[in-house]
A and B are shown apart, each in its own frame.
Chain A
Amino acid sequence: GENVEQHPSTLSVQEGDSAVIKCTYSDSASNYFPWYKQELGKGPQLIIDIRSNVGEKKDQRIAVTLNKTAKHFSLHITETQPEDSAVYFCAAEPVDGGSQGNLIFGKGTKLSVKP
């Protein structure tokens, strides 16, 4: 089945710097890759997603890139702010008959933005 690896597990940056989180997946048939932000005591919040027919997607300070050949995708946050501090999860949706629709998550990256 699908397996998602996420790196780094912790990331500390200065306010205004960029942050990059990388994920790799194992199932080449997976075609949907969302990113979620989870703040303490809250549920995961979708921040951006990308489908396999697109190589890059941007939404203001957040961008996601996808390399299908290498089976990896990355989250880029520019001009980081203290409120970006949270745990970020990547996920992949396998295309495996009955598994389609279920998300396989990475272990998460704790991002700390220092003012």
Chain B
Amino acid sequence: DSGVTQTPKHLITAIGQRVTLRCSPRSGDLSVYWYQQSLDQGLQFLIQYYNGEERAKGNILERFSAQQFPDLHSELNLSSLELGDSALYFCASSVFKSDTQYFGPGTRLTVL
């Protein structure tokens, strides 16, 4: 158990809908990262927050957004969902801006 928690574990929704994925980092960690894992693209970095502020963006679609709250938990919002958004979404956390990352168990999103 890495200490990173993610909810929900599974999410099934329809095309065009909007969902929110939640992540709680390890106690003491200030950085939160979001990754998408799909069969064809592998593990891809989406976005990083550090102590409440966006620090870096990767291959994140404009339909996706995230935020980190004062208690350091983070939410990833996915809107106007398409079939291709079906994937595993992982959250990771680290102590500082650039440090060892510990991954959560993931949220499996299925868009029907």
A91 to B43, CA, bound (A): 10
**Bound Cα distance from A93 to B58, whole angstroms:** 13
Tell yes or no: B42 within 8 A of A by CB: yes
> Which chain A residues numbered 82 to 115 have a C-beta less than 8 Å away from chain B?
89, 91, 93, 98-108
8 A Cβ contacts from B71-99 to A: 90, 94, 97-99
A93-B98 contact, Cβ under 8 Å, with A45-B103, A101-B55? yes
In the complex, the answer to whether B101 meets A100 with C-beta atoms within 8 Å is: no
Number of A interface residues, CB 8 Å? 23
Complex interface: chain B residues within 8 A of A98 (CB):
55-56
Residue ID in chain A nearest B42 by CB atoms: A107
Contacts of A101 in B (CB 8 A): 31, 33, 48, 55-56, 94, 97-99
Q: Contact between A42 and B100 (Cβ–Cβ < 8 Å)?
A: no
Residues of A within 8 A of B44 (CB): 105
Per-residue CB contact flags for chain A residues 45-63 toward chain B (1 = under 8 Å, else 0) read 1100100000000000000
Chain A residue nearest to B57 (CB atoms) is: A98
Check A99–B43 contact: CB distance below 8 A.
no
CA–CA, A49 to B94, complex, Å?
A: 14
Q: Mark B41-62, 1 if CB is under 8 A from A, else 0.
A: 0111100100000011010000
CB contacts (< 8 Å) of A106 on chain B: these are 42
Residues in B lying within 8 Å of A, measured CB to CB? 2, 4, 31, 33, 42-45, 48, 55-56, 58, 90, 94, 97-106
Given A102-B56, A102-B58, 6 further pairs, Cβ under 8 A: A43-B4, A43-B105, A101-B56, A104-B45, A106-B42, A107-B42
- A interface, CB within 8 angstroms of B: 32, 34, 36, 42-46, 49, 89, 91, 93, 98-108
